[in-house]
Chains A and B, each alone.
Chain A
Amino acid sequence: MIFETFKIAIQSLFANKLRTLLSMLGIIIGVAAVIAVVSIASGSQAQITSQISDLGSNLINISPGISSGAGGQISRTSADIFTLDLGKHIEENSPNVKRVVPTSSANGLLIKSNNNYRATIVGTEADYQVINKYYPAKGIFFSHYDVDNSTEVIVLGTDLVEELFPDSEPLGQSVKFNINSSTQVFRVIGVMEDKARGLIGDLNSQAYIPITTFMNKVSNSNYVSNFVAQAVSSENATMALYEIEYLLDRYISEEDEYNIFSQDQLLDTINSVTNTLKLMLIGIAGISLLVGGIGIMNIMLVSVTERTREIGIRKALGAKKSNILFQFIMEALALSSVGGIIGIFLGGLASYSISQIGGWPFVMSTLTVLIAFTFSLFVGMFFGIYPAYRASKLNPVDALSYE
Chain B
Amino acid sequence: MINIKDIAKTYQNGEIEVQALKGVSFEIEEGEMVSIMGPSGSGKSTLMNILGCLDTATSGYYSLNDQDISQASEKELAYIRNKEVGFVFQQFNLLGRKTVLSNVEVPLIYSGAKKKKRIKRAEDLLVKVGLGHRMKHYPNEISGGQKQRVAIARALANNPSLVLADEPTGNLDTNTGEEIMDLFQQLNDQGHTIILVTHEHNIAAYAERTIELIDGRIQRDVVA
Contact = CB atoms under 8 A, between A and B. Distances in A.
B111 to A, nearest CB: 7
A310 B97 CA distance: 10
B72 interface: no
B14 interface: no
Interface of A: 1, 4, 8, 11-12, 15, 309-310, 312-321, 323, 395-397, 400
Given A396-B54, A397-B54, A400-B54, A320 B95 contact: no
A316 B95 contact: no
Interface in B9-66: 49, 52, 54-55
Contact of A310 (B52, B55, B95): B95
Nearest to A320: B78
15 contacts: A1-B112, A8-B109, A313-B95, A314-B106, A315-B78, A316-B87, A317-B154, A318-B82, A318-B107, A319-B78, A319-B110, A320-B74, A320-B75, A395-B55, A397-B54
Contacts of A323: 110
Contacts of A4: 109
Contacts of A315: 54, 78, 81
Contacts of B93: 309, 312-313, 316, 400
Interface in B80-132: 81-83, 87, 89, 93-95, 97, 106-107, 109-112
A12 B102 CA distance: 14
A76 B94 CA distance: 96
B87 A318 contact: no
Nearest to B105: A4
CB-based closest 6 A-B pairs: A318-B82, A318-B110, A396-B54, A320-B78, A397-B55, A317-B107
Given A313-B93, A397-B49, A318 B111 contact: yes
Contact of B81 (A12, A396, A400): A396
A396 B48 CA distance: 13
A90 B107 CA distance: 90
B102 to A, nearest CB: 9
Given A15-B97, A397-B49, A318 B81 contact: yes
A323 B109 CA distance: 10
Q: Which of A11, A316, A320, A396 has the most CB of B within 10 A?
A: A316
B47 to A, nearest CB: 12
Q: Which of A317, A395, A396 has the most CB of B within 10 A?
A: A317
A239 to B, nearest CB: 73
Given A314-B110, A318-B158, 16 more contacts: A1-B109, A1-B112, A11-B97, A312-B93, A315-B78, A316-B54, A317-B110, A317-B154, A318-B78, A318-B81, A318-B110, A319-B110, A320-B74, A396-B54, A396-B55, A397-B54
A188 B166 CA distance: 108
Contacts of A400: 54, 89, 93
Contacts of A314: 106, 110
B81 A317 contact: yes
Contacts of B154: 317
A396 B50 CA distance: 11
A312 B112 CA distance: 19
B103 to A, nearest CB: 9
Contacts of B83: 318
A321 B74 contact: yes
Contacts of A312: 93
Contacts of B75: 320-321
Nearest to A4: B109
A1 B83 CA distance: 16
Nearest to A319: B110
A63 to B, nearest CB: 77
B109 to A, nearest CB: 5
Contacts of B94: 313
A328 B111 CA distance: 19
A59 B144 CA distance: 89
A224 to B, nearest CB: 85
A158 to B, nearest CB: 72
Contacts of A317: 81-82, 106-107, 110, 154
Contacts of A316: 52, 54, 81, 87, 93
A396 B111 CA distance: 18
A320 B83 CA distance: 12
A233 B110 CA distance: 72
Q: Which of B82, B97, B109, B112 has the most CB of A within 10 A?
A: B109
Contacts of A319: 78, 82, 110
